[in-house]
A and B are shown apart, each in its own frame.
Chain A
Amino acid sequence: MTTQPDATHEFRVTDLNVYYGRVHVLQDVSFSMGTEPLGVIGRNGMGKTTLVKAIAGFVPARSGSIEFEGKDVAGKQPYQINHAGIAYVPQGRRIFPSLSVHEHLTMVGAKKSARWNVPAIYDLFPRLAERRKNSGAALSGGEQQMLAIGRALLSNPRLVVMDEPSEGLAPAVVDHLAEVLRGVVREGQAVLLIEQNLRFATELCDRILVMVNGRIAADMAASEIANNPEVQNKYLGVV
């Protein structure tokens, strides 16, 4: 396993449809990405979280395919998707209350020789090293987010899917997180980032997809949207 993506590294979602009961949440969603970080933004309830849950194997897709490195992972169990090279940082972090910080990291079972092993995560987030004996439930929101990211990286994935890592965090913490993640991305780590925080998304990703009502409404360069209040208003209704 290596974090250096190979040439065949491609993540492709094709005509993905997801229903909750009779509600058609994702409608023919298609996009693809390589190793460059990709941001997905949109207002609440537009289907962003459903998209990542479908990718992670948490909700079933009615139709369509999710291919990674040529393999279709749609309909697979979450652990099979993880083994295929996709790691998941869920919304709300989903830290295990019964485990200490250190146990969260060791349970993943990363090889000592891998790029991401337990000491490497402590280097990335020294704050976690300080709190290694603490229960996951006793951490602050920012620390929990670091732990959730560390837990995902320890699978040494070739793609990390993150669902709103900035949610509920203080601005200073968000800035710190963005800085750390920029370093990770610069190393060549592929990231699919779901965000409501436009600034966070555009700082990390050069390419942004906009989701509106379960569809991809726009696919544009981050610079196009970052400094364009008109576009922002249209898709995000930032008032």
Chain B
Amino acid sequence: MDQFLLIALNGLTLAAVYFLVASGLTLIFGLMRVITMAHGTSYLLGGYIGYVIARETGNWLLGALGAAIAVGVLGLIIHQVLIRRFQDDDMRVALVTLGVSLIGTDLMLAVFGGTATQVAIPAAFQVGLPLPGLGSYPLIRLLILLVAVLVGVGLTLFINKTRYGSIVRAGVDDSQMTSATGVNVRVVFASIFFLGSALAGFAGVVGGTLFPLLPGQDGSYLLFSLVVVIVGGMGSVPGAAIGAALVGIVSQFALVYAPTYSLVLTFALMVVVLAIRPQGILGRRSAT
């Protein structure tokens, strides 16, 4: 029973990291339909930037903030310079961003090397929190779960309850008509691309705090966040939360009870969900 609870909590905190990465992807890919292959690269780069800033300043929060802004700005530049000119051609966008991710991966390998690094946290957070039935559980993991919940609630409210959120959804529905209501859609989309990239950078710092940062994680996090977005339903933030929770929990339980099939089971989850609900758990059936 204890072990079961422990695995469930581990699954949920892993899900928190998956959700943070996927929340950015659900904006960029799910909502704006930009097929980016560089999202995992944004994650890993954010982790490394956060690692450097936290190491130099001793301030984790500064590292997280700096990584989010730096990756966000870099994403914005890539969007303006490369992606926007091919925005109606999915295949080209996918190839261009794949190129960006390959170059980024090698540059990071050159700069940060192939050994594992981890973002440092203040000693005050490196404690266990006594939990009934478990003994103690790392406080930092629970805090990260809380951060993921806050980000999820904040994003959901932003998209569904604010005027800017309405404009974003209108722009996705019909960008020309949205422009005709007086909105510069190009600026709106750029801002959302910034936000999505910044979330990936932030997720990199959070993930790099819990787990070591390693070359190759860019690919696996891109893959997992794609699975999360597709399982949850394109463009739905609560959907991404559910998708992340499912993927996190399934992969953790599989790791303990059927380690050989861990990866297979994660994708089996996607297959099952898509077989039952092709639009994803909270996705809407697209009209077009």
> Do A94 and B177 form a contact, CB below 8 Å, given A83-B182, A103-B166, A155-B182?
yes
Interface residue B8 (Cβ < 8 Å from any Cβ of A): no
* Max count, chain A CB within 10 A of own CB: residue among B166, B172, B180, B182: B180
Which B residues from 29 to 85 make CB contacts under 8 A with A?
A: none
Write out the residue numbers on chain A whose beta carbons fall within 8 Å of the beta carbon of B177: 90, 94, 96
Interface residue B176 (Cβ < 8 Å from any Cβ of A): yes
**CB <8 Å contact, B180 and A82:** yes
Interface residue B170 (Cβ < 8 Å from any Cβ of A): yes
- Tell me the smallest distance from the CB of A55 to a CB of chain B, in Å: 11
Interface residue A106 (Cβ < 8 Å from any Cβ of B): yes
**CB <8 Å contact, A79 and B174:** no
> Do A88 and B180 form a contact, CB below 8 Å, given A109-B163, A137-B287?
yes
Using CB atoms, name the residue of chain B closest to A110. B182
> In whole angstroms, how far apart are the Cα atoms of A39 and B272 in the complex?
57
Interface residue B87 (Cβ < 8 Å from any Cβ of A): no
B170's partner among A78, A88, A107 (CB-CB below 8 A) is: A107
**CB <8 Å contact, A96 and B180:** no
A107's partner among B174, B176, B181, B184 (CB-CB below 8 A) is: B181
> Do A155 and B173 form a contact, CB below 8 Å, given A106-B163, A107-B163, A107-B166?
no
Interface residue A99 (Cβ < 8 Å from any Cβ of B): yes
Interface residues of A (CB under 8 A from B): 56-58, 77-79, 81-83, 87-88, 90, 94, 96-99, 103-104, 106-109, 137, 151-152, 154-155
> Do A79 and B176 form a contact, CB below 8 Å, given A96-B170, A99-B166, A107-B170?
no
Write out the residue numbers on chain A whose beta carbons fall within 8 Å of the beta carbon of B180: 56-58, 78-79, 81-82, 87-88, 90
Interface residue B179 (Cβ < 8 Å from any Cβ of A): yes
Write out the residue numbers on chain A whose beta carbons fall within 8 Å of the beta carbon of B167: 107
Interface residue B169 (Cβ < 8 Å from any Cβ of A): yes
Write out the residue numbers on chain A whose beta carbons fall within 8 Å of the beta carbon of B169: 96, 98-99, 103
**CB <8 Å contact, B182 and A82:** yes
> In whole angstroms, how far apart are the Cα atoms of A45 and B176 in the complex?
22
Interface residue B183 (Cβ < 8 Å from any Cβ of A): yes
> In whole angstroms, how far apart are the Cα atoms of A73 and B182 in the complex?
14
> In whole angstroms, how far apart are the Cα atoms of A99 and B177 in the complex?
13
Write out the residue numbers on chain A whose beta carbons fall within 8 Å of the beta carbon of B166: 99, 103-104, 106-107
> In whole angstroms, how far apart are the Cα atoms of A108 and B180 in the complex?
10
Using CB atoms, name the residue of chain B closest to A154. B181
Interface residue B7 (Cβ < 8 Å from any Cβ of A): no
Tally of A-B residue pairs with Cβ under 8 A? 69
Write out the residue numbers on chain A whose beta carbons fall within 8 Å of the beta carbon of B173: 96-99
* Max count, chain A CB within 10 A of own CB: residue among B178, B179, B183: B179
Closest 9 CB pairs of A and B: A78-B179, A82-B182, A107-B166, A98-B169, A96-B173, A78-B180, A103-B166, A96-B170, A94-B177
> In whole angstroms, how far apart are the Cα atoms of A56 and B177 in the complex?
10
Interface residue B185 (Cβ < 8 Å from any Cβ of A): yes
Write out the residue numbers on chain A whose beta carbons fall within 8 Å of the beta carbon of B174: 94, 96
With A83-B182, A108-B182 already in contact, 17 other A-B pairs whose C-beta atoms are closer than 8 Å:
A57-B179, A57-B180, A58-B180, A77-B184, A78-B176, A78-B180, A82-B180, A88-B180, A96-B169, A96-B170, A96-B173, A97-B287, A99-B169, A103-B166, A107-B170, A109-B182, A137-B287
> In whole angstroms, how far apart are the Cα atoms of A154 and B184 in the complex?
17
A79's partner among B172, B182, B287 (CB-CB below 8 A) is: B182
Write out the residue numbers on chain B whose beta carbons fall within 8 Å of the beta carbon of A97: 173, 287
> In whole angstroms, how far apart are the Cα atoms of A103 and B169 in the complex?
10
Which B residues from 137 to 178 make CB contacts under 8 A with A?
A: 163, 166-167, 169-170, 172-174, 176-178
> In whole angstroms, how far apart are the Cα atoms of A106 and B170 in the complex?
12
Using CB atoms, name the residue of chain A closest to B182. A82
Write out the residue numbers on chain A whose beta carbons fall within 8 Å of the beta carbon of B287: 97, 137
**CB <8 Å contact, B181 and A58:** no
> In whole angstroms, how far apart are the Cα atoms of A79 and B177 in the complex?
9
Write out the residue numbers on chain A whose beta carbons fall within 8 Å of the beta carbon of B178: 96
- Tell me the smallest distance from the CB of B172 to a CB of chain A, in Å: 7
Write out the residue numbers on chain B whose beta carbons fall within 8 Å of the beta carbon of A151: 181
- Tell me the smallest distance from the CB of A148 to a CB of chain B, in Å: 9
Using CB atoms, name the residue of chain B closest to A93. B177
Write out the residue numbers on chain B whose beta carbons fall within 8 Å of the beta carbon of A58: 176, 180
Write out the residue numbers on chain B whose beta carbons fall within 8 Å of the beta carbon of A94: 174, 177
Write out the residue numbers on chain B whose beta carbons fall within 8 Å of the beta carbon of A106: 163, 166
- Tell me the smallest distance from the CB of A57 to a CB of chain B, in Å: 7
**CB <8 Å contact, A98 and B163:** no
**CB <8 Å contact, A79 and B163:** no
- Tell me the smallest distance from the CB of B285 to a CB of chain A, in Å: 11
**CB <8 Å contact, A155 and B163:** no
- Tell me the smallest distance from the CB of A37 to a CB of chain B, in Å: 20
19 contacts between A and B (CB under 8 A): A56-B180, A57-B179, A57-B180, A58-B176, A58-B180, A77-B184, A78-B180, A79-B181, A79-B183, A79-B184, A79-B185, A82-B180, A88-B180, A94-B174, A96-B174, A104-B166, A107-B183, A109-B182, A152-B181
